[in-house]
A and B are shown apart, each in its own frame.
Chain A
């Protein structure tokens, strides 16, 4: 009873379909998600190469989380197609979605290593309990994000940055090849941010592909291979200097953004963060 649903469209719990030779790690084609009243994602197409790190930038309600959830196979699109290594998302367990912090019940009675072990569960499947190999794997992952000392700590006692690193460790334990990080920098101080970018460099050497939703245009420009400007449709995607044009930014942020031309260059004033309590800190 390792697999419940056999060889249907969803191969099920713990099943990873091998990637096709030469297929992009992530390919999104004419993706569309419409609700009766509005369109959340509008004909989005792009491709990511293995090991690429991309920042997804756009105002609140631009569809960043929605896009991630569709790519992860958690939400269904109403049109278009997402493939991971040549196959649909639900045939993979190599996609990790790193949640926004306020989506998690931090009072849940589990420790840091318990949470990271949950990432192993997909590799275990039904009925099997973690073995020594899995324990070791969890330790390695905690080590890689610098949380070894906090392995036995209850998750309620973590700082914002530690919480995010724990989820990155869980994604590593899951052996994720594509990590979708939803606002992981929200609620982090500069030191925690630095630590996360150091981890991203380590992930780069492991050729883990990363998409990170962020509000911080400076960080996006400094640390990522490519930037995606998203506001329900894909406004631009490419190197920071090519994408951050006044036209693109105005189109992405609309009235939320003020562009000021000064002697030293273009100055951008934005007030996009924390509207509607999207990033309210969770105690």
Chain B
């Protein structure tokens, strides 16, 4: 048993993969909690896809130098999240329509750009589904620095972000700068998407953002506990997913997402069974659970 757990750690690329998956899992779980509570799942998905042309542009410019891709992606993500807000205001259309227009338009632009390169199919799959085993030490340090910054901002603005998410009118009557806080949150989500890109890819990103927080929501009564659960579930799913990827030869991003989803389904089923009395109260349950 121990050998099964230790075997992958003989490979440096696996160690880097584990570190990336854990950090990304923690950051996505925490930022994703706000995404879930505010009902911004569609926005998160759109943002992940809309980053593609930025990545493609960086790729064409730098010819495969990874850290350059990161900055292109980050710039695109921030621009897109601002644009979504601006378009829905200027064009007087509903926000989800604005998101949809920009999302698919940008995604198509990204595919078009990548299709101009030589090994189109390979590159596209890499961007769409991630390649956590190809993470370099410099990638890891970028994830660490930006992930740390994201968590720092959330820690500092926690009480303000919670008020804004729960009751915007209260935030306004307390004279919080609600617009600036909202855009801060958008930038946090955008940055999270970018640092997670290499782990799960743009197509699977949404799962990392919303599935662990959704599971955590089922387990927790209070927000701090929910955030903790979301971070733990995100990290653990990353680790288990990588083991599965290692032993069964499954694509790493897909494996991680499948584990996240499995956690959600299992927790939901236990809750349902307990609700109808199939499982007694003595069934082991989280200390803070409902």
Residue among B170, B217, B220 facing the most chain A CB atoms (10 A cut-off): B170
In the bound complex, residues from chain B placing their C-beta under 8 Å from that of A90 are: 175
Whether A124 lies near B177 (C-beta < 8 A) is no
Q: Check if A93 is an interface residue, CB within 8 A of chain B.
A: yes
Distance (whole angstroms) from the CB of B247 to the closest CB of chain A: 36
Whether B175 lies near A72 (C-beta < 8 A) is no
In the bound complex, residues from chain A placing their C-beta under 8 Å from that of B221 are: 109, 111, 154
Whether A72 lies near B177 (C-beta < 8 A) is no
16 contacts between A and B (CB under 8 A): A11-B175, A13-B160, A13-B176, A14-B175, A15-B175, A73-B175, A74-B172, A90-B175, A92-B175, A99-B169, A103-B169, A105-B37, A110-B162, A118-B166, A121-B160, A122-B175
In the bound complex, residues from chain A placing their C-beta under 8 Å from that of B180 are: 4
Q: Check if A63 is an interface residue, CB within 8 A of chain B.
A: no
In the bound complex, residues from chain B placing their C-beta under 8 Å from that of A56 are: none
Q: A104-B167, A109-B223, A154-B221 are in contact. Are A12 and B177 (CB under 8 A)?
A: yes
In the bound complex, residues from chain A placing their C-beta under 8 Å from that of B177 are: 4-5, 12-13
A-B contact count (CB 8 A): 84
Whether B173 lies near A93 (C-beta < 8 A) is yes
Q: Check if B222 is an interface residue, CB within 8 A of chain A.
A: yes
Whether A109 lies near B222 (C-beta < 8 A) is yes
Q: Which of B37, B156, B170 has a CB less than 8 Å from the CB of A118?
A: B170
Cα separation A170 to B173 with both chains bound (whole Å): 12
Whether B167 lies near A118 (C-beta < 8 A) is yes
Chain A residue total in the interface (Cβ 8 A): 39
Cα separation A12 to B156 with both chains bound (whole Å): 17
Q: Check if A190 is an interface residue, CB within 8 A of chain B.
A: no
Interface residues of A in 153-183 (CB under 8 A from B): 154, 170, 174
Residues on B lying within 8 angstroms of A by beta carbon are 37, 156, 159-160, 162-163, 165-167, 169-170, 172-177, 180, 217, 220-223, 226
Distance (whole angstroms) from the CB of A39 to the closest CB of chain B: 20
Whether B173 lies near A74 (C-beta < 8 A) is yes
Interface residues of A in 174-224 (CB under 8 A from B): 174
In the bound complex, residues from chain B placing their C-beta under 8 Å from that of A92 are: 175
Distance (whole angstroms) from the CB of B6 to the closest CB of chain A: 38
Residues on A lying within 8 angstroms of B by beta carbon are 4-5, 10-15, 69, 72-74, 90, 92-93, 95-97, 99, 103-105, 108-111, 114-115, 118-119, 121-122, 124, 126-127, 129, 154, 170, 174
Q: A111-B222, A114-B223 are in contact. Are A96 and B173 (CB under 8 A)?
A: yes
Q: Which of B170, B176, B223 has a CB less than 8 Å from the CB of A110?
A: B223
Whether A73 lies near B172 (C-beta < 8 A) is yes
Q: Which of A95, A104, A105, A114 has a CB less than 8 Å from the CB of B173?
A: A95
Closest to A68 in B: B169
Whether A14 lies near B217 (C-beta < 8 A) is no
Whether B174 lies near A97 (C-beta < 8 A) is no
Whether A97 lies near B37 (C-beta < 8 A) is no
Residue among B160, B165, B167 facing the most chain A CB atoms (10 A cut-off): B167
Closest to B290 in A: A154
Whether B175 lies near A118 (C-beta < 8 A) is no
Whether A109 lies near B226 (C-beta < 8 A) is yes
Cα separation A156 to B222 with both chains bound (whole Å): 12
Cα separation A174 to B255 with both chains bound (whole Å): 48
Whether B220 lies near A93 (C-beta < 8 A) is no
The 9 closest A-B pairs by CB, nearest first: A122-B174, A74-B172, A13-B176, A109-B223, A72-B173, A109-B226, A118-B163, A108-B166, A13-B175
